[in-house]
A = this chain, B = another copy of it.
Amino acid sequence: MRHYWTDKPPSARRVGVGETAAEYGEFRLIERISRLFAGTDRVLLGQGDDAAVLAVPDGRVVACTDMLVEGNHFRTDWSSGADVGHKAAAANLADVAAMGARATGLMVALSLTPETDVEWVVELAEGIASESDSTGAAVIGGDTTRGSQLTVAVTALGDLEGRDPVTRRGARVGDVLAYAGRLGWSSAGLAVLHRGFRSPGALVGAYRRPQPPYAAGPVAAAMGATAMIDVSDGLLSDVGHLAESSNVSIDIDASALTISDAMARAAEALGADPLQWVLAGGEDHALVATFPADVILPADWTPIGNVAEGRGVTVDGHRWQGGSGWDHFDRSGG
């Protein structure tokens, strides 16, 4: 593993108060961060060598990676270092859960600017460690380097514990669509922040620190889920991926979706449609899965739709007229 920290400072703004990464020095920073990451019995060799070694008794490893960039995925005036760490870990841990697997290891590559506040980075590492600990996964390695933009790349590894992976392509006609977790909370929180508000705290908190239902993934796999995905782009968009990959159509029953009181109040204050947040808001990392109709759903799963022949996703039998999720730059090839 190589830790670059060369001597040419790119221009970048200061992200906080206190000592900067350049003043503090790379090795001290790595040493300080490393102490935050505890091992587990899966970690056969942790940080500090060329690579880490993780036990995967199943004989298959689940792996995914996700990159967050300042200004695009987070703003340091809206989220603390700990919030960003939490969120970066959660995005990857949820991807592992969406395969029906349990996360066991995380790796973190960081690009810092010379002006990055050291305490912000330490908080980021604490956020990653804390969210990762909550799922039983360990941070097993990483890399720090310097750039002109704060960038966090997280890789998560997971174990299927003998189960088959639940992909996006197994939904069958007649299956029930269900979800676990939250829908629209993060998106509502972001809308609140965009308007310059800081409350309701539940929504802003959901944007800052999503709470994916990690345990619901392996449970769904064990109960016979036929397809699963985590809602990172928005319910319609991600259910659309399930439908397309499985070559089926999926209809969502709007009356089965919950609008929380906080969301209803925020929507009224902002003149927004809360259903739009629930249907098209991403980043809560809810899990959505299809199950055979005769499966009794686990307690944390709520049925919200049905799988039929055809293509695409409908709401109460009709195409949704709002947006379907994140505005991508160009969807022409999607």
Contacts and interface: CB of A to CB of B under 8 A. Distances in A.
Nearest to A45: B165
Given A4-B72, A44-B60, A53-B61, 20 more contacts: A1-B95, A5-B328, A7-B329, A10-B72, A25-B333, A26-B333, A27-B331, A27-B333, A28-B332, A50-B99, A51-B158, A52-B63, A54-B60, A55-B60, A59-B59, A65-B108, A67-B153, A114-B329, A149-B149, A157-B157
Interface residues of A, number: 92
A302 interface: no
A98 interface: yes
Contacts of A326: 4, 6
A59 B56 contact: yes
Interface stretch (A138-146, A171-179, A249-257, A258-266): A138-146
Interface stretch (A76-84, A227-235, A270-278): A227-235
A105 interface: yes
A300 interface: no
A222 interface: no
24 contacts: A1-B65, A5-B329, A5-B330, A6-B72, A6-B327, A25-B329, A25-B331, A25-B332, A26-B329, A31-B333, A50-B99, A51-B96, A51-B158, A52-B62, A53-B63, A54-B61, A55-B59, A56-B61, A64-B141, A65-B108, A65-B141, A68-B145, A71-B148, A73-B145
Interface string A1-44: 11111111010000000000011111111010000000000001
A111 interface: yes
A153 B92 CA distance: 15
A25 B142 CA distance: 30
A109 B155 CA distance: 9
Given A24-B330, A67-B109, A109-B65, A56 B52 contact: no
Given A24-B330, A53-B99, A333-B28, A10 B145 contact: no
A66 B328 contact: no
B333 A72 contact: no
A286 interface: no
A18 to B, nearest CB: 16
So how many copies of this chain end up in the complex?
Answer: 2
Most chain B CB inside 10 Å of its own CB: which residue of A49, A57, A228: A49
A314 interface: no
A147 B141 contact: no
A236 interface: no
Given A72-B145, A153-B109, A327-B6, A63 B54 contact: yes
B28 A63 contact: no
B95 A51 contact: yes
A308 to B, nearest CB: 23
A239 B149 CA distance: 32
Nearest to A287: B50
A65 B52 CA distance: 10
A21 to B, nearest CB: 8
A110 interface: yes
B28 A330 contact: yes
